[in-house]
A and B are shown apart, each in its own frame.
Chain A
């Protein structure tokens, strides 16, 4: 079997601790042949044990490596532009980390580029491919229209130690020298960054229960890093709570409460490969059903999804759905940012 050739765009912890260990679990179906990073020394360090090409530019990656698949793990601001460049170059498979872009214009351009090129696209929102979610959602739908269990209250909690804590358990990480501190962000920028950096993992889940967010009542950033956001929308209320960077028990939980049922999804932390989420659904008669808890996590599932689409399967999430997910996230980020800046006036 000939392996598909993979180019990694961005050589940081997402590439090293998430995608390279996941690729190692794919039974040789793909092979990393190139690593691109503006920091060429970092790209070389990551590429060396793989026997891959290290490069600093997209042009070099596309001309020298003949890749079938690209993984975009660069800073958010580059996701859309790089996705479009890969589409234009005829790369067949693209796994772009969330968010798909940082504006609605970008998202629309990506949608057009993917449609015209025929590229297979997966956004790396691993929890949306997690079997603990997919099986629970299938069961919820089999019990009737989801909206019939509303109105809902949704609560998303992410209490997780610093990323580095997990990265070093997932791989042998090469870290570049840290750059200097940038300008001090406003509360709005901190909260918006939290939505697009962390909450975004689970906003596609929330859309099933709260299809539109209409207002953010309160938003504040937390130290060392995090946020508390209280919002209302069509279908109910939601709260998003996050705190990272300290010493506490990891807790990444999405709870949804309807008038006659509730469920709680417990996700594993990022980076580490601890298996799937576990979802416990409490039914109207008080009985419970548990879904997930398998050995394969969402990272592996999103890679299997990409390979499946490239083999001709229908994508689980169309590019239109992915664009709608981004629009939802951008809308929440904008409302939360305004509320956070308003709170300090």
Chain B
């Protein structure tokens, strides 16, 4: 029989975030029970607030088996490094990181040679531009396409746009905020043709889509109707039950944090331009 862990939730997160997590826990009744406090538990920190590193540090002090850092606001490499020193598995969760479609995409893109990648992420209206950019960079890394450098970042009133370089490809990232449903698309092109994914709203068990088009036709991957938070919960369970390293360790995302870290704000009525080069 599988081991059942106590789950302790802290932080408030975005509106509705706690409810979404509790709903996801409700789909795994044999793996978790939500409790106010416990020992040897999974700590889940709703981290969409400026003092999230303090919340995570506090959670680490309660002797958990692992900590999930859920949608950290404006993560900095320094905060990530400091928290990693505790030696307890820290699992990063962002809106798309555990999307089943993203995992399918990552598996499919591995053997392909790419020269052009486009990312569109429609985000919540109350997310900062740094966080939106971090989430998009983290999504690319999770898809097996880590960004090496950023050539240009433009922050407007509604969108943050970045041009970046991967190993062999140019990447163009767009994060658009607004009242719309959240979703993301990645389109990767190369001499073979294209591989694209639609990652659905993480608040619902939207199946998303992965499609490869090449000279022989199109391939569509099977749909998976699970929310990313449910899959994050499964990953956390495996990390604790098997005493192994997590798939998306927070410390593995220090580079996206470094690339996205800057004093940015939405342009409001006046759109402003920012150009930067990082090595």
Contacts and interface: CB of A to CB of B under 8 A. Distances in A.
B116 A284 contact: no
Contact of A249 (B115, B151, B211, B267): B211
A193 to B, nearest CB: 18
Nearest to A157: B118
B158 A237 contact: yes
A327 interface: no
Interface residues of A, number: 36
Interface string B201-221: 000000000010111001000
Contacts of B180: 257, 262, 282
A282 B176 CA distance: 15
B176 A257 contact: yes
Interface of A is mostly: strand
A237 B271 contact: yes
Contact of A259 (B157, B174, B211): B157
A222 interface: yes
B220 to A, nearest CB: 11
B120 interface: yes
Interface in B48-66: none
Contact of B196 (A155, A249, A282, A286): A249
B186 to A, nearest CB: 13
A151 B194 contact: no
A88 interface: no
A308 interface: no
Contacts of B116: 222-223, 226, 243
B161 interface: yes
A247 B212 CA distance: 10
A228 B170 contact: yes
Contacts of A330: none
A223 B168 CA distance: 13
Nearest to B154: A217
Contacts of A218: 151-152, 154, 163, 275
A151 B177 CA distance: 12
Contacts, number: 111
Contacts of A236: 156-158, 271
A260 B116 CA distance: 32
B179 A284 contact: yes
A76 interface: no
Instruction: Give the interface size bracket for B toward A.
Output: 35 or more
A166 to B, nearest CB: 16
A233 B172 CA distance: 19
A133 interface: no
Contacts of B105: none
B159 interface: yes
Interface in A209-238: 215, 217-218, 220, 222-223, 226, 228, 230, 232-233, 236-237
A220 B163 CA distance: 9
Interface in A250-268: 257-260, 262
B170 A151 contact: no
A217 B172 CA distance: 13
A237 B213 contact: no
A273 interface: no
Given A151-B158, A243-B116, A249-B196, A232 B189 contact: no
A277 B63 CA distance: 58
A155 B163 contact: no
A59 to B, nearest CB: 46
A108 B102 CA distance: 52
Nearest to A217: B154
A239 B151 contact: no
A187 to B, nearest CB: 12
A54 to B, nearest CB: 37
A51 interface: no
A314 B213 CA distance: 45
A237 B159 contact: yes
A343 B172 CA distance: 15
A257 B154 contact: no
B170 A222 contact: yes
Given A159-B187, A249-B211, A249-B218, A217 B159 contact: no
Interface in B252-279: 267-269, 271-273, 275
Contacts of A111: none
A153, A159, A222, A262 — most chain B CB neighbours (10 Å) = A153
Contact of B213 (A228, A233, A249): A249
B11 interface: no
Contacts of B176: 153, 155, 257
Interface in A134-193: 150-153, 155, 157, 159
Interface of B: 115-116, 118, 120, 151-152, 154, 156-159, 161, 163, 170, 172, 174, 176, 178-180, 187, 189, 191, 193-194, 196, 211, 213-215, 218, 267-269, 271-273, 275
27 contacts: A151-B157, A151-B268, A151-B271, A153-B156, A153-B159, A157-B118, A159-B187, A159-B194, A217-B152, A218-B275, A228-B118, A228-B170, A230-B172, A236-B157, A237-B158, A237-B271, A241-B118, A243-B189, A246-B194, A248-B189, A249-B196, A249-B218, A257-B180, A259-B157, A259-B178, A282-B180, A286-B179
